[in-house]
Structure 1
Amino acid sequence: MLLILRDTPPKGERTLAQAGHTQDVLNMRKRFQEVMQPEAVELVEGLTGRRVIGFMSENHIDPDLGAEVFVLEPADEPGQLEEAESTDAQG
């Protein structure tokens, strides 16, 4: 599962980046993603009904982009993903 985030920096990050401190911003984002990883993995596992076996995250400053990659375990049975999507759509 790939999530692309755009134009999300808080004012403080924007100010630092504009002042030339882009590496500091990238380091801060990396630390934040490390702290948030367990919660993000739990959310994706709950939404998909599949275990996350790998997580990768990367950021770019100009343009402001973030990529979150969740690698899911293979589906046990054909149709498992469709069943999870159907359940989510029903609420």
Structure 2
Amino acid sequence: MEDLTPGGPTAAEISTSVVRVLARYTGRGPTKARTYRADDLVAVLLEENLTQSEQTLVEAGRGELARHARLALQDAARQDLVAVVERVTDRTVRAFLTATEVDPDVAVLVFHLEPTRA
């Protein structure tokens, strides 16, 4: 088991790389990212993700549209996000899940890793 709390070289590298990938896809990355890892699970908590246009939608009462757009972008980035986690952990990602809230502006990316062989 590794990195139950944020920190450590693996967690920091995943956080930094995820922010870079999302910035390429959205034009701006989240301002806060923390990675947690336990056994076969990696979770990346992201804060302050929304672009100006997504924030405008939220302020106009169209938060669901902004949330769906953000989920679509995260899904479009799936292959690159999975590649980051596989490279850093040297493990295969079995499943990728994402959830996004717009108020507060928080998202989580969850990567379920293939079990290690004993």
2:117 matched to 1:69?
Answer: no
| Helix, strand or coil at the partner of 1:41 | helix
What is the distance in 1 between the residues matched to 2:69 and 2:103? Answer: 16
Structure 1 counterpart of 2:56, one-letter code: T
Report runs of 4+ in structure 1 exceeding 6 Å deviation. none
Q: Which runs of 5+ in 2 are unaligned?
A: 1-41
2:63 matched to 1:26?
Answer: no
| Helix, strand or coil at the partner of 2:71 | helix
1:3 to 25, 28, 44: 44
Q: Give the structure with the larger helix fraction.
A: 1
Please tell me whether the aligned partners of residues 99 and 109 of structure 2 are also in contact (alpha carbons under 8 angstroms). yes
1:12 to 46, 53, 56: 53
Indicate the percent of aligned positions where both proteins have the same amino acid: 30
- After superposition, where does 1:16-55 map in structure 2 within 5 Å? 16-55=57-96
Structure-2 residue corresponding to 1:85: none
Cα distance, 1:57 vs structure 2: 0.2
1:58 to 86, 95, 99: 99
Q: Structure 2 length as normaliser, TM-score?
A: 0.63
What is the distance in 1 between the residues matched to 2:71 and 2:100? Answer: 8
With CA pairs under 8 Å and 6+ residues apart, which has the higher RCO, 1 or 2?
1
Q: Structure 1 length as normaliser, TM-score?
A: 0.81
| Helix, strand or coil at the partner of 2:100 | strand
